[in-house]
Each structure stands twice: as C-alpha cells, then as structure tokens.
Chains A and B, each alone.
Chain A
Amino acid sequence: MKYCIILTVLSTLLLSLTGCWSNNELNRLALVAAIGIDKKDDKFLLSVQIINPGVVAPKMGGGGAYAPVSMFKETGTTVMEGFRRVTRKMPRQIYFAHLRFLIISEEVARGGVQEVLDFFSREHEFRDDFYIIITKKNRAEQVRLPSSLVALSLKM
C-alpha cells in the first residue's frame, strides 16, 4: 500500500516534467503579424507589428477609431536583445506563433543573415511557417505592411 502511494505520487510528479502547461488569456497576448529587421549604427533595429484584434475582427459597430496594427521599434546589438527591449515597451505578452512575415532589409542581408535566421530557427516561440522577405529599401522599418493588406494576408 505504501509502495502504491509512493508510486502514484512519483508518477504524478513525473507528469509535471513535460513542460508544456499553463495557459494565457487571449486579451493578454499581442499577436505579431510581421517583424522588420534593419541596421542602425551597427545595431539591429527591430520593428514588431502587432495586430489590434478589436479593430481587425469582423464585428458589428466596434473599433474604427484605432489603426488595425501598431508598431513597436527597438534597437539591440543582437536580435534577442532587441526583442527583450520591445517587451519592455509592450503592455502585453508578445505571441509569435501567428507571425506571417519576417522582413529583412538589404543592409542586414548583405552583412549576413546567419545570425538573424539562427535566432528565428532556435527560439522556441517561433513557428517556421512564416515568409522571409528581403527588401531593397534600406530602411526596413518603413516596410510596414498596409493595414488592410495585413488583414488580407492573414487569410493566406
């Protein structure tokens, strides 16, 4: 009997080792639609585009006053640092699973995309189903997608 209890407790504890647990409220997440990466004084300039779901969502009446997307920009010596800095500005937790576009400027691409892509393929919060775009414009931060386009492109 004692052996049984110990076994039960141990196997229950074993279940807590699997990792993927806990939950999150939807209105505490910031859905990222697109990320732009640019160079600025030897640093990465990150532009993170967030969907404002209250505006984008098809609903009677509501919204209209706000833009369907909003941008957050930060610099960092590494991509990771940039994202950590963005997090400080963001009132919500960033949620990368619905990322659609990763936009890399020509300047960054010429310096080698290895570091950028390495981050995106190793970081566990990203899925690998987004499109990677390299722009000719030197300032990727200006490559913000037109908001109506975002709403359309999300249906892809």
Chain B
Amino acid sequence: MIPTPLIISLAGQKEGIPFPTFIEAMLMEITFALLREASARMPRAISSAISIVGALVLGQSAVQAGLVSSAMVIVISITAISGFILPSFEFGISVILLRVLLMVLSTILGLFGILLGCIALMLLMCHMTSFGIPYMSPLSPLKFSNLKDAYFRVPWPMQKKHSKLKAQKGSEQQGTSDEGEIG
C-alpha cells in the first residue's frame, strides 16, 4: 500500500489539476517529444537553450500554473531518462508507441490493465522472430550455453564459440579462424 503521508502529498498536488491523469501524462509526453525532436535537429549551440526552456518553463511553470502535478513531472522525466538507456534512438521511439498503449490500458483498467499489457507484450516478444531468429533469443527458447552472453559476459577466453542460433557454418568467434569472416 502507498504510505499515508505519501498519498496525502500526492493528493495535495493533484487537488488543483483540472485534467485526468491520462491527459496530464499525455501533455507532458507530447511536450517532451517536441523538446527531444527539436533538440535533435537544432545546432548544438541552440539545443542547450532548448533544454533550459524545457527544464525551467515546462517543468517549473507547468507545475506552478497547475497544469500538471509535480509527481507527474517526476514520472515523465524518469520515463524520459530511462528511454535513453535503450541503445538506439529509433528503437527508443518505437517504445513510445508501447508506452502510450500501456497508458491507455491503465486508464481503462487500472493496474490490472498494466499487467495485462505487460503480459501481452511479453507474449508478443517471445513470439516474434527477426530473420528467423527468435527475438528473445537466449531466453525464450532457453539455451543455457548461450546465456553466457546475455545477462553478463563471461571472460573473453571462455567465449570460444559463437552463440548457437541456427545452423551456422563457422561457429568460432571472428578472428580466430578464416571461416568466421563474412566474405
């Protein structure tokens, strides 16, 4: 359960907000998307100005004006930061779609909807294949020998062989034999 002082604090922030939580979150999400796209296209000198505008004007003032609650700003900024953990920018953009879908589900069904969405997402990811290789490759069709390269990396000398995905010709690491190189 949420601790009582925390829920009072959250409810206090939410008191003057005219929008439902979904609209609030979408507002911040769209704002952040605009900022990110703008700073991706701007020259480096101006993009710092954009981040200042984003942080001060949108973060601070939107809360003070009572458009969004400060808890929502925290949530969206954590979401934004964790979006950058993903290795590729385009990959992160495709995650936005999933995020909006989960938000809609949670608006309709609550926490149950989030769990439902996560289960559906998990099923989808386990079902997908990319060029004949399962998307969740070492985990979903579980191969213990391939796990050495999934969650952690074992020391280099122990990684003599490639991860076994399908029938591959040269199963040795690149550089150790001539066959491994792509001709």
A21 CB–B CB distance under 8 Å: yes
Q: Which residues of A contact B4 (CB under 8 A)?
A: 31, 98, 100, 154-155
Which A-B residue pairs are the 8 nearest by beta carbons? A57-B12, A23-B110, A53-B11, A54-B15, A21-B112, A53-B12, A26-B14, A27-B14
A residues 77-114 near B (Cβ < 8 Å) are 97-98, 100
On chain A, the residues within 8 Å of B106 by CB distance are 23
16 A-B contact pairs sorted by A residue (CB < 8 Å): A20-B111, A23-B107, A25-B14, A26-B10, A26-B11, A31-B4, A51-B8, A51-B11, A53-B10, A53-B12, A54-B16, A57-B9, A59-B12, A97-B1, A98-B7, A127-B1
A29–B12 Cα distance when bound, in Å, is 11
Q: Decide if A1 is an interface residue (CB 8 Å cutoff).
A: no
- Interface presence of A18 (CB below 8 A): yes
Q: In the bound complex, do residue A53 and residue B8 qualify as a contact, i.e. CB atoms below 8 Å apart?
A: yes
- Kindly report which residue of chain B lies nearest to residue A100, judged by CB atoms: B4
Chain A: residues with Cβ within 8 Å of the partner, total of 26
Report the bound CA distance from A55 to B11 in whole Å. 10
Let me know if A10 is at the binding interface, CB within 8 A. Answer: no
The minimal Cβ–Cβ distance linking B175 to chain A, given in whole angstroms, is 46
Interchain CA distance A57-B11 in the complex, whole Å: 8
Given contacts A23-B107, A23-B109, contact A57 B8 (CB under 8 A): yes
- Given A97-B1, A155-B5: A27 touches B11 (CB 8 Å cut-off): yes
* A57 touching B13, Cβ below 8 Å: yes
Task: Please encode chain A, from 12 to 32, with 1 for each CB lying within 8 Å of some chain B CB and 0 for all others.
Answer: 000100101111011101010
Residues of B bordering A, CB below 8 Å: 1, 4-5, 7-17, 20-21, 106-107, 109-113, 116
Kindly name the residue among A27, A51, A62 whose own CB sees the greatest number of chain B CB atoms within 10 A. Answer: A27
A31 touches B11 (CB 8 A): yes
Q: A22-B109, A22-B110 are in contact. List 13 more A-B contacts (CB 8 A).
A: A23-B107, A23-B110, A26-B7, A26-B10, A26-B11, A31-B4, A31-B7, A51-B8, A53-B15, A54-B12, A57-B8, A58-B9, A155-B5
Tell me the bound Cα distance from A100 to B111 in angstroms: 25
| Most chain B beta carbons < 10 A, residue from A15, A57, A58 | A57
Q: Could you say which residues of chain B place their CB within 8 Å of the CB of A51?
A: 8, 11
Bound-state Cα–Cα, A24 to B12, Å? 15
Most chain A CB neighbours (cut-off 10 Å) among B7, B8, B109: B8
Residues of A within 8 A of B14 (CB): 25-27, 53
Known: A23-B107, A97-B1, A127-B1. A29 touches B11 (CB 8 A): yes
How near does chain A come to B103, taking the closest CB pair, in angstroms? 12
Tell me the complex Cα distance, A59–B66, Å.
Answer: 13
A56 at the interface (CB under 8 A from B): yes
**Given A31-B8, A97-B1, A98-B4: A25 touches B15 (CB 8 Å cut-off):** no
Q: Say whether, besides A25-B21, A27-B17, A127-B1, A18 and B11 are in contact (CB < 8 Å).
A: no
